[in-house]
Amino acid sequence: MPETQKPKASPDLLSLLKDYISTRVELTRLTIIERLTVVTANLITDSFVLVMGVLTFLFASFTLALYIGESSGSYAMGFGIVALIYLALALLMYFIKDKLVEKYLHDFMVKRIFNKKK
């Protein structure tokens, strides 16, 4: 009985396979770099917007407290009323965060990271 010979892979097939693997590795590397640059750019711009928002919120809070204090005749009362408003908002957020806020925030962040804009 004659032995069957295993067909040898041609040099062209091996070189094509090597080229394919190197191309896939390069594509993966470039995809990772693209995602990292998108996340980094979003982080920088979102941080800037957050800092500006916090400063605006801080100065608006002082303005509201001073206005209420001037209207009521006591600056301490104005700042106390503003503090109570923020306490009420914090308690409200604490009680609704599991049902409403976390799910939408999670979905928003995943969409931001994996959004491909070309």
Domain ranges of the chain: 11-114
- Please state, in angstroms and rounded to a whole number, the distance separating the CA atoms of residues 62 and 66: 6
pLDDT of residue 103: 79
pLDDT of residue 7: 59
82 contacts: CB under 8 Å, gap ≥ 6: 61, 64, 65, 68
Top-confidence residue, 7 or 18: 18
Q: Check if the beta carbon of residue 82 is closer than 8 Å to that of residue 61.
A: yes
Judged by average pLDDT, the poorest of 30-39, 51-60, 97-106 is 97-106
